[in-house]
Amino acid sequence: MDLLTDPTITAFREEARTWLEENKPTEARPHDDQAAREFDRAWQHKQYEGGWAGVAWPEEFGGRGLAPLQQMIWYEEMVRAGAPSTGSFTVALGHAGPTIMANGTKEQQALYLDRIISGDTPWCQGFSEPGSGSDLASLRTRAVIDGDELVVNGQKIWTSYAHIADFQELLVRTDPEAPKHKGITWVVMAMDTPGLTVRPIQTIDGNAHFCECFYDDVRIPLANVVGGLNNGWRTAMSTLSFERGMGYLQSRLTIINEVDKLIEEARQRKLLENDRIAYELAHIRAQAVTVHALGYDGVAATSQPELMSSVNQIFNGELSKSLARIAIEIQGDDGLERTEWNGRYLGSFPATIAGGSKDIQKNILGERVLGLPR
């Protein structure tokens, strides 16, 4: 354990900071999802042109081929600059891309990765179903082989950004006779494939970022299967542990900006003189700073992956919800009116649900990390 003072690292940080100063978008990310898609594409493309897309992606896939450490520094600088996060590219950069790198054929890698990193194609994740959330492996969306195609019938739900994505990483059941983890296949589906219907679902905060996807004889080339037929569970898990570990790091790190904004709000309302509120904010800020430490811990990658990813998921989920709860205390009676802060509160509930609920994470910690009996 030591502070890294290697001049190449300092220089890398300087370079990142300067580039962001000069190139980060000055306008806010649009509220409308179609417009947001174009905003995300333009921003990702700009990073690509500048050599900043996929800092830790291998050079052969268009990345910079640097270590997770540099990736972390890049994220830190993004947060420091208040630059937009990956938005509708989160799945593409965070799971679909890495999955294809790890499990895809040369052809698949050539077909998809370049269009992800260059900011061309947002992806979505079609995993959860109405009957299969926490118990993802029970999924029932069926795919039957017909010639050199898979014919898909069924339904997915909670598919974030399905209405603005170009591709979907899709889990389907290809062998209903096999034990539930063994009959699943991971396949790439283009979102303009006939037979697919996407319906956005409105959420309690008034947004509609996630969707239902209905598959009615959707024909997908067998060549789109990644990681082998009936091997989809293992293929998917390589992405999920990434999602729960380093994958969300950039958006997790941004919480410090929100915390600082809230502290400023409390200061203006003269609430920092109140010890309880001051303590709560201090505690929240301490936790927001700890997100950094967990990032460095992820870079060091010396812990058991389940320990790292579940601790991160629980810690960041609860942190995000606490921030929202304190925010509504701070704004007090002004909260009768819809404000940025109570909007944040209304939107905070998925923090302990999406990507594997906090209960499931606790089961993982208890059973797979601490070895407690099931």
Partner 1 sequence: MIDLKLSDDEKFLQESVRDVGAKEFPLDEGIRAGIDGRKPFDEARWQRLAGLGWFGICVPEAQGGIGLGLTHEMLVFNELGKVAASGPLVGTALGAYVAARAKSDEIAAALIAGQRKAGILVGDLVVDAGVGDLALRVTSEGTELLEITEATPVVSVDEALAVNRVTGTTSLVHITDDDIPSRLRVLVGAYLVGLAETTVEMSADYAKTREQFGKPIGSFQAVKHRCSEMVTRAYTAKAQLAVGAVLANLAATEGIAGSGLLEVASGYLLAMDAAQQNADDNIQNHGGIGFTAEHPAGIFVKRTQVYRHLGGKMSDLIQIALVSPETSAA
Ligand X SMILES: Cc1cc2nc3c(=O)[nH]c(=O)nc-3n(C[C@H](O)[C@H](O)[C@H](O)COP(=O)(O)OP(=O)(O)OC[C@H]3O[C@@H](n4cnc5c(N)ncnc54)[C@H](O)[C@@H]3O)c2cc1C
How far are the Cα atoms of 307, 315, 316, 325 from residue 245, in angstroms, in the given order?
9, 12, 11, 25
Residue 134 binds to ligand X (criterion: CB under 6 A): yes
User: Residue 159 and residue 114: Cα distance in Å, rounded?
Assistant: 23
Residue 125 interface partner, choices partner 1, ligand X, none, CB cut-off 5-8 Å depending on type: ligand X
Name residue, tokens 């502070």.
3
The least CB distance from residue 291 to partner 1, in Å, is 22
The least CB distance from residue 132 to ligand X, in Å, is 7
Please report which helix (H) or strand (E) contains residue 91, including its range: helix 90-91
Residue 370 binds to partner 1 (criterion: CB under 8 A): no
Q: How many CA atoms lie within 13 A of 349 on its CB side?
A: 6
The least CB distance from residue 323 to partner 1, in Å, is 14
What backbone torsions phi and psi does residue 157 show, to the nearest 5 degrees?
Answer: -150, 160
Residue 310 binds to ligand X (criterion: CB under 6 A): no
Residue 81 binds to partner 1 (criterion: CB under 8 A): no
Residue 259 interface partner, choices ligand X, partner 1, none, CB cut-off 5-8 Å depending on type: none
* Residue 220 identity (one-letter amino acid): I
Alpha-carbon torsion (203, 206, 209, 213), positive or negative: positive
> In this structure, are residues 75 and 253 in contact, taking their beta carbons and an 8 Å threshold?
yes
Token digits of residue 324: 């929202």
DSSP 1-19: ------HHHHHHHHHHHHH
Which of residues 332, 340, 367, 372 is near partner 1 by CB under 8 A?
A: 332
Which of residues 194, 333, 370, 371 is near partner 1 by CB under 8 A?
A: 333
* Residue 219 identity (one-letter amino acid): R
* Residue 229 identity (one-letter amino acid): L
Which of residues 214, 335, 368, 369 is near partner 1 by CB under 8 A?
A: 335
Which of residues 21, 217, 334, 367 is near partner 1 by CB under 8 A?
A: 334
Catalytic one of 243, 265, 340, 367: 243
177 catalytic, yes or no?
no
- 76 vs 243, which CB is nearer to ligand X? 243
Residue 127 binds to partner 1 (criterion: CB under 8 A): no
Which residues 212-251 are close enough to bind partner 1 by CB under 8 A?
Answer: none
Q: Identify the bridge partners of residue 167 per DSSP, sorted by sequence position.
A: 123, 190
Q: Which stretch binds partner 1 (CB under 8 A): 9-17, 163-171, 277-285, 347-355?
A: 347-355
Cβ-based neighbours of 184, under 8 Å, separated by 6 or more: 137, 139, 171, 172, 173, 174, 230, 232, 233, 236
Residue 251 binds to ligand X (criterion: CB under 6 A): no
Residue 153 binds to partner 1 (criterion: CB under 8 A): no
- 52 vs 210, which CB is nearer to partner 1? 210
Taking every pair of Cα atoms in the chain, the longest distance, rounded to a whole number of angstroms, is 72
Residues known to be catalytic: 243
Q: Which residues bind ligand X (CB under 6 A)?
A: 124-125, 127-128, 133-134, 158-160, 210, 350, 353-357, 359-360, 363
Q: Which residues bind partner 1 (CB under 8 A)?
A: 128, 131-135, 138, 157-158, 201-204, 206, 210, 321, 328, 332-339, 342, 345-346, 349-350, 352-354, 357-359, 362-363
